[in-house]
Each structure stands twice: as C-alpha cells, then as structure tokens.
Amino acid sequence: EVRLVESGGDLVQPGGSLRLSCAASGFTFSTYWMNWVRQAPGKGLEWVANIDQDGRAKHYVDSVRGRFTISRDNAKNSLYLQLSSLRAEDTAVYYCAREIWGNPDYWGQGTLVTVSS
C-alpha cells in the first residue's frame, strides 16, 4: 500500500523558516518524480514544486522560487521542502504527492503551515 506521511508544519512568524518532511512507503520511491502541492484555507490546489527521481531536476511555481527548496533522500525514502522568507500568503496545508506524467496520483494527509505574528 502506497503511504505518504507529511510532518513539520507549524506556526511561524513572517520571514521565518520551516522544513517539511514526507516519509514514503509502499512503492519504489527512487523511481518516481515527487511533488509538493499546497492549499490555502478555503482555496484551491496549487502546485508548489517537483523533483525528479535523482534529485537533479527541480521546478518551482514562480511565487516560491528562490524562497523554497525541494530535495529528497532516496536512501531514506523521504521528500523535503525547505521554506524560507515565509509570508502570510504561504499559509496553507502542504501535501506531498507522488507524480506520474505531471499529475499527482497518491497524496499524503497534509501538514499545516501557518505564517502569522
């Protein structure tokens, strides 16, 4: 059974930093692109970043480029998202998702990031 479990969400002040983690199991993690997708309260889904199987190719939505960094550790079956220079508009539930042909198939349960003073 494919399982994705996010952690690391928290309340953080504007300008602060946070690191999200996603533990994967039930599939060969190293053979899939992986995504982070977020959903602000009461809003729709927004793709944030993705990373290729080797961790070399990375793509970001314009609004987070230069502030967020996606990475992975295939030995630990784990995906990460380093969030920096956080803004109020980054407040959202962040989902880890496995990707196939540009689209997520399996999703984690999400972790809440709240940016507020």
Partner 1 sequence: QSALTQPPSASGSPGQSVTISCTGTSSDVGGYNYVSWYQQHPGKAPKLMIYEVTKRPSGVPDRFSGSKSGNTASLTVSGLQAEDEADYYCSSYAGSNNGVFGTGTKVTVL
Chain contacts with partner 1 (rule: CB under 8 A): 33, 35, 37, 44-47, 50, 52, 57, 59, 95, 99-110
- Residue 109 CB, shortest distance to partner 1, in Å, is 5
Rounded Cα distance between 38 and 46, Å, is 5
- Which residue in this structure is represented by tokens 């939505």? 61
Whole-number minimum distance, CB 47 to partner 1, in Å?
6
Beta-carbon contacts of 10 under 8 Å, excluding residues fewer than 6 positions away, are: 18, 113, 114
- CB nearer partner 1, residue 19 or residue 59: 59
In the complex, what is the shortest distance from the CB of residue 74 to partner 1, in angstroms, rounded to a whole number? 18
- Partnered with residue 96 across adjacent β-strands are 36
C-beta closer to partner 1: residue 37 or 115: 37
Q: Which is nearer to partner 1, 85 or 103 (CB)?
A: 103
The CA distance from 12 to 105, in Å, is 30
